[in-house]
Amino acid sequence: MKARQLVLSLLIIFSGNSPAFAKSIKIAFWNVENLFDLKNDPNTNDDEFALGGRKNVTENIYNLKLENLTEIINKMNPDVLGLCEIENRFVLEELNQAVKRDYSIIHYDSPDKRGIDVALLYDSKLLEITESKVLTVLLPTKIPTRDILYVKAKFSKIELNLFVNHWPSKYGGAEKSIPLRAAAAKTLRKKVNSILSTNPKAEIIIMGDLNDEPIDPSITIHLGASMQKNKMVNHESILWNVMQPWHRNPEGSTYKYDGIDMVYDHLIVSEGLIDNIGLKLVPNSVGVFSGKKYRQHGGKYDGYPFRFWAGSRVLGGYSDHMPIYLKIESE
């Protein structure tokens, strides 16, 4: 009897439900809206978020920000999480200590003048990292901007290429800033082309706040991502933007401006994730993490993401962007 119980216990421990043997993983992305520490970095324009700065940030406000971000991350419970608008490694470590899972961190300081970076949190029991580096985006204005984070990993012993992005914003004018996002798109496209030239069926996932919508030229032309899967299959585009169902969808907008529901946050995949070989995108797994609690209600900002900051005033919400996610599985 004891021997039988031992066998049953071992079966439970080593079953497919164990994280180390997971067949699928959830990959998410979130612009967390200005996660800054309380110190004034003399090398960046972070003064307003420092103690004594214009926003009058206190330790309690900083802790509330961390608590609110933690709430959503715990509810999403992603295995891999791309982040943007984080100041440095310190705030990533603080966030990682607060959430229920123990993630490993990939982060590089970017040359962005505000000091905001991109990063990747991941479960090292599920994902094996074989390479990570940044792609430097050179803008025509010569102004430094956020790097693109590239991570090469293995899930179920199959290679997976991940990119975390935060492209230049429309600050200073939407039309005037078009060449800036085009430059970021071309930088990313060059690396994607390099990967696909070696392996046309490479599994690639691009995530990020691109500060443009799925129909904008930076994404459709310069990056080569279409909202129509058949265009990628027919080789009219090299990538598929899986956020199509949420374009102009008030239930699934990731960002809102001037009352318009927008998708600024993107998940884009290569053909290698829909060919049913190796890793594949799980059908109907793409989503926008939302809910009444996480959006504003009534008045001018009805339906907007419930943000943390409104200028220098603390609203006490979460972020001005909604998180997005998808699942992939191994065959």
> Cα separation of 290 and 325, whole Å?
11
> Which CATH number covers residue 302?
3.60.10.10
Kindly write down the DSSP assignment for every residue of 172-202, as one continuous string: T-TTTTHHHHHHHHHHHHHHHHHHHHH-TT-
Domain membership of residue 12 (yes or no) is: no
Domain membership of residue 9 (yes or no) is: no
pLDDT on residue 219: 98
Instruction: Give pLDDT tens digits for 59-69.
Output: 999 999 999 99
Residue type at position 228: Q
Q: Report the chain's mean pLDDT, rounded to a whole number.
A: 93
Helix, strand, or coil here: 20? helix
Query: For the chain, how many structural domains are there in total?
Result: 1
pLDDT on residue 248: 85
Instruction: Give pLDDT tens digits for 273-297.
Output: 999 999 999 999 999 999 999 999 9
pLDDT on residue 171: 86
pLDDT on residue 114: 93
The mean per-residue pLDDT over the stretch 191-209 comes to 98
With contact defined as beta carbons under 8 Å apart, do 92 and 62 qualify? no
Q: What is the pLDDT confidence band of residue 2, given thresholds at 50, 70 and 90?
A: very low
The mean per-residue pLDDT over the stretch 298-312 comes to 95
Q: Is the pLDDT of residue 44 over 90?
A: yes
Q: pTM for the complete prediction?
A: 0.93
With contact defined as beta carbons under 8 Å apart, do 323 and 28 qualify? yes
Q: Is the pLDDT of residue 265 over 70?
A: yes
Higher pLDDT: 316 or 45? It is 316
**Enclosing domain of residue 244:** 23-330
pLDDT on residue 21: 61
Domain membership of residue 35 (yes or no) is: yes
Domain membership of residue 10 (yes or no) is: no
> Cα separation of 269 and 90, whole Å?
31
Q: Is the pLDDT of residue 306 over 80?
A: yes
Identify the H or E element spanning 132.
Answer: strand 128-135
Domain membership of residue 1 (yes or no) is: no
Query: Who contacts 280 (Cβ-Cβ below 8 Å, separation ≥6)?
Result: 273, 274, 328, 329, 331
Domain membership of residue 15 (yes or no) is: no
Residue 33: name the closest of 169, 134, 173 by CA: 169
What is the share, in percent, of the chain residues with pLDDT greater than 70?
A: 94
Q: Is the pLDDT of residue 5 over 60?
A: no
Instruction: Give pLDDT tens digits for 215-232.
Output: 999 999 999 999 999 999
Instruction: Give pLDDT tens digits for 201-211.
Output: 999 999 999 99
- C-alpha of 122 from chain center: 12
Helix, strand, or coil here: 7? helix
- C-alpha of 233 from chain center: 25
Q: Is the pLDDT of residue 168 over 80?
A: yes
Domain membership of residue 5 (yes or no) is: no
pLDDT on residue 247: 86
Domain membership of residue 50 (yes or no) is: yes
What is the share, in percent, of the chain residues with pLDDT greater than 90?
A: 87
Higher pLDDT: 148 or 248? It is 148
Q: Is the pLDDT of residue 141 over 80?
A: yes
